[in-house]
Structure 1
Amino acid sequence: MKYDVVVVGGGAAGIGFVSTALATYPKKKILMIKKEKDTLVPCGIPYTISTLDKVESDIMSTKGIESAGAEVLNDVVTRIDPKSKKVFTSSGKEFEYDKLVLATGSNPIVPKIPGVDLKNVFTVPKDINQIKNLKEALSNSKKVVVVGAGFIGMEVSDELRRAKKDVTIIEALDRVLPVAFDPEFSEEARKIMENEGIKIKTSSKVKEIVGHGKVEGVLLESGERVDAEVVILSIGYRAESTLAKEAGLSIGISGGIWTDEYMRTSEMDVFAIGDCAEHKDFFTRRANKLMLASVAAFDARIAAANLYNLKLIRQVKGDLSVFSTSVGGFIFAAAGLDETDARNGGFDVEIGIANSVDRHPATIPDTSKVKVKLIFSKSSGVLIGCQMMGGKSVGEMINVVGTAIQGGMTVADLTTLQIGTHPLVTASPVVYPLITAALDAYAKLNCKEK
């Protein structure tokens, strides 16, 4: 059977692509092939532990794209042949395509240490059955060790605390959230977690997971042993590019599938989007391993809009990291470069700091304190990064910053930013956090110029 478009994968990238493609090319015949009947919302997986009543509450439905005309098949693609333009599945089916889109996602990294195969050792995949197994194991356990203090590790640990578990985080680097935030924000996150009763061991590496058939503890390289009934490995993800490799497509240095600016691979009429594709840094154009649902959705829109011809010219040539996470009820968010990476990358920077609140007056009941750190190029004044923490308002405020970075806004642009405010929903226009932080940097730059 032949389709205009075959999509392999049904996560955020796949569903986002089909939605956009149907809007752009409504007469095209589209088939999505996905392994699982039910696909989880990636960012919601940690919250299936406690916040959500059941794992099924996190399912990402395909009903919308099916009602719009797409076909969805639950099967496993075992091989693609770009020369004959065919896709083959484990059930023995084969499909011809005009355009093929690979949205095969990523898989959790499993470290090569003794004991990873013991019962009650889990990763955090996007597989509903494995997450159900994890939740069942947790229901009968008290002591949990989480290996890795990145976004997923911290969010999982926060949820475990809510479920009244005895939680210990093991992190090889010297601080929590080490890749996304500068030390002062990492320290704030650590204090919050420790105040909630979570034990954190940084600069610590796991030597072995010990037990007899089932997990009993984790042995660190220092010789210390941490007792555990469940171990959750959260040390990152690796692009699932097997189909592409076996088909001879070019693979990038990060392990993801190489694409051009329009998500086209090295093979004619084959696209790659989401976690399986290699991404490039917004500022340096160097390959990176950026894996975010928001980036996957961006990839999907770019690929779908330009599927048959270049309708949407991509003027932003790199992928900007914009994200937020919840730590003990506080929101931590970042966009662009942090100060550490900026300086290591050769940028001469100036910093703007603001400590404010997100309502006015501050006596409004749901007011939260907000801390903002803006990072500017010292020579040009261009905004290159931001970190902030506070209440839920931070989750949207960081998107304003992401827009400002994409638009090449400068410190002067931000100090004259025109905004709308209201006492019940925003910070005061007099001390709006982003503008106040920009003014701080502006003053420093002007003083140095004199």
Structure 2
Amino acid sequence: MNTPNRRILIIGGVAGGATCAARARRLCETCEILVFERGPHVSFANCGLPYFVGDVIESETKLLVASPDVFTHRFNIGVHTETEVTRIDRHARTIEMRDLKTGAMRQEPYDALVLATGAKPVRPPLPGIDLPGIHVLRTIPDSRKIKAAAANASRALLVGGGFIGLEMAENLVGLGLEVTLLELADQVLPPLDPEMAAYAAERLKSRGVSLRLGEGVAAFERHPERGLNVLTSKGETIAADLVILGIGVRPESALAADAGLELGALGGIRVDEYMRTSDPAIWAVGDVVEVKNRVTGEWQLVPLAGPANRQGRVAATAILHHFSYGDDGTPPPLKFEGVLGTAVCEVFGLTIACTGANEKQLRRAGMNYQEIFLHPGHHVSYFPGAKPIHMKLLFSETDGRILGAQAVGELDVARRIDVIATAMMQGASVFDLEDLELCYAPQFGAAKDPVNLAGMIAANHLRRDLPLADWEELATTPALLVDVRSETEFAGGHIPNARNLPLETLRDRLHELPQDREIWLICGVGQRAYYAFRLLMQNGLQVKVLSGGMQTYQARMHAGG
């Protein structure tokens, strides 16, 4: 694909821009490739920033993925850091830029332009938002400032309970700070459904984080002695030496908007499957673009490094294909077909992972779905050290297509979500999950892996071998609720109005159950309720199962459901 004298200019580095530059060089040795980065680093691991603040990553240099020297000497790519691109002239195919060190302005022509301008942290227009001591975390210089501030602080306030907020909470607690986390929503971790996010909330509280849900910031004021007073939406005041805003990011799309490129409703640049914008000579990648959700088909913003890297590869491939073939109708060999939003984080030893759509997204898209819950061990119970994985699987009620999955636990959580994400990329159904052949040895899993079990439970429901009761209807159902755990377990806590009929006694007590009333079964995690269902169903009773048992009930109670 060598195309002499072609110029590829890339605005922004980090994941998408840097990957695009390196891929373009691998495809074209004779192209001139230049990267312009507003910050001091062209390629760094921003996912590691909370751990640099918390001294888990001790050296700042460990965060540098590739230096300008590496780009120059290994790839023959010109890198211009601390250079801000201020204007795109689409007609002349030039960009205008300012050297932030000298203030000098200049222009550069392009044959292909890639926008990888990323996203910027949200700073709402609250009173006092610009006071000293209020930080965001997006770049290495940001992390330096927070690290220095934390060294002289005793009380930290985090605004926002997303991935960054939780990771910062863990790292600041590790530095010995008293940490309060404010989240305006009724749950942490918006990509999860409330009952799954509740596990993370409980872990935060158990480690000393003051978690205040359903409460946001109204204003910031100077503290009379030191630090800040934070006025909350509930009329309370919290004193803090250090405040970190983690309430999301917005696409840095002003440059594209000024150039007249098409933007989506969410403010991101609109691109096709080859990452091409509305201008045939301009591509865009990373946090600045809107992408299609592979499950719901909706446009969304997904500021994740994995998709940004893939987009960079796709854009570079498309650019070189365009140089070679023009617009003759031959499609480039790579395309980006959307995202599942697969993500993971860890907080105080608890891993939280998800892929695909959550219930909020499915309801918004008007999709028909079913949910199941399960709580298997990460490996067989007889091998020492087994830890539970709390899992939720969402799937189509009509054909069993997998729509989303969420999992929380201490060990091997990401591996299970990765398997499900891979299956979803292939359009798999729950019937495929139950048939997957996965690694098994006692210390790694079980002959029925948690992924298999999720598929089996969902498939049993679709085959009508396991009708599921709706947790949302628990408070109003006229059904008889039967708890099939032991009397000791029942006495230790149960759902109000439930009747205890232990599984082992059920065959002898069938006469106690009504023939003309629906029965909902519950146990500890779902297995015994399933056994009871098979027994009662074959005796002519109307029976359903509450998926996930008391473990799910308790999580829903913690989530306010």
TM-score after normalising by structure 1: 0.93
Alpha-carbon contact 1:3-1:31 (below 8 Å) kept: no
Identity percentage over the alignment? 29
Kindly state the Cα deviation for residue 301 of structure 1 after the two structures are TM-superposed: 1.7
Aligned to 1:350: 370
- Are 2:205 and 1:194 equivalent residues in the alignment? yes
Aligned to 1:338: 358
Q: Which runs of 5+ in 2 are unaligned?
A: 99-103, 322-330, 468-561
- Secondary structure of the residue aligned to 1:331 is strand
Alpha-carbon contact 1:118-1:215 (below 8 Å) kept: no
Q: Which runs of 5+ in 1 are unaligned?
A: none
Kindly state the Cα deviation for residue 364 of structure 1 after the two structures are TM-superposed: 4.4
Alpha-carbon contact 2:344-2:352 (below 8 Å) kept: yes
d(CA) in 2 for partners of 1:395 and 1:65? 32
- Secondary structure of the residue aligned to 1:307 is helix
What are the Cα deviations for residues 300-353 of structure 1, in whole angstroms up to 9, with x where unaligned?
Answer: 121112113333253x63322100011211110000011333234322222233
In structure 2, do the counterparts of structure 1 residues 26 and 352 end up closer, same or farther at CA, with 3 Å as the change threshold? farther
- Are 2:442 and 1:427 equivalent residues in the alignment? no
- Are 2:177 and 1:165 equivalent residues in the alignment? yes
d(CA) in 1 for partners of 2:116 and 2:364? 33
Q: 2:395 aligns with which of 364, 372, 376?
A: 376
Divergent runs of 4+, >6 A: none
Ranked by relative contact order (alpha carbons within 8 Å, sequence separation 6 or more), the top structure is 1
- AA partner of residue 337 (structure 1): A
Aligned to 1:155: 167
- Are 2:424 and 1:405 equivalent residues in the alignment? yes
Q: 1:57 aligns with which of 46, 62, 69?
A: 62
- Are 2:141 and 1:124 equivalent residues in the alignment? no
Kindly state the Cα deviation for residue 225 of structure 1 after the two structures are TM-superposed: 0.9
Aligned to 2:217: 206
d(CA) in 1 for partners of 2:440 and 2:177? 41
d(CA) in 2 for partners of 1:258 and 1:372? 34
Aligned to 2:148: 136
- Secondary structure of the residue aligned to 1:117 is coil
- Are 2:121 and 1:108 equivalent residues in the alignment? yes
- Are 2:463 and 1:446 equivalent residues in the alignment? yes
Aligned to 2:91: 83
Kindly state the Cα deviation for residue 440 of structure 1 after the two structures are TM-superposed: 1.0
d(CA) in 1 for partners of 2:291 and 2:411? 29
d(CA) in 2 for partners of 1:22 and 1:169? 45
Kindly state the Cα deviation for residue 390 of structure 1 after the two structures are TM-superposed: 1.9
Alpha-carbon contact 1:353-1:441 (below 8 Å) kept: no
Q: 1:31 aligns with which of 30, 34, 38?
A: 34
TM-score after normalising by structure 2: 0.75
* RMSD (Å) for aligned C-alpha atoms: 2.0
Larger radius of gyration: 2
In structure 2, do the counterparts of structure 1 residues 152 and 27 end up closer, same or farther at CA, with 3 Å as the change threshold? same
- Are 2:79 and 1:68 equivalent residues in the alignment? no
- Are 2:34 and 1:22 equivalent residues in the alignment? no
- Are 2:189 and 1:185 equivalent residues in the alignment? no
Kindly state the Cα deviation for residue 13 of structure 1 after the two structures are TM-superposed: 0.6
What are the Cα deviations for residues 81-103 of structure 1, in whole angstroms up to 9, with x where unaligned?
Answer: 12111122213232221111010
Aligned to 1:393: 412
What are the Cα deviations for residues 170-195 of structure 1, in whole angstroms up to 9, with x where unaligned?
Answer: 11111111x21111111111100000
d(CA) in 1 for partners of 2:364 and 2:187? 18
What are the Cα deviations for residues 205-248 of structure 1, in whole angstroms up to 9, with x where unaligned?
Answer: 21111215963221112211111111111110010012111212
Alpha-carbon contact 2:317-2:334 (below 8 Å) kept: no
The 5 A counterparts of 1:238-317 are 238-309=250-321, 310-314=331-335, 317=337
Aligned to 2:324: none
What are the Cα deviations for residues 59-104 of structure 1, in whole angstroms up to 9, with x where unaligned?
Answer: 2324554312222122221222121111222132322211110100
Alpha-carbon contact 2:221-2:228 (below 8 Å) kept: yes
In structure 2, do the counterparts of structure 1 residues 248 and 195 end up closer, same or farther at CA, with 3 Å as the change threshold? same
- Secondary structure of the residue aligned to 1:334 is strand
Q: Which moved more, 1:370-379 or 1:415-424?
A: 415-424
d(CA) in 1 for partners of 2:28 and 2:125? 46
The count of residues paired between Structure 1 and Structure 2 equals 443
Alpha-carbon contact 1:370-1:389 (below 8 Å) kept: yes
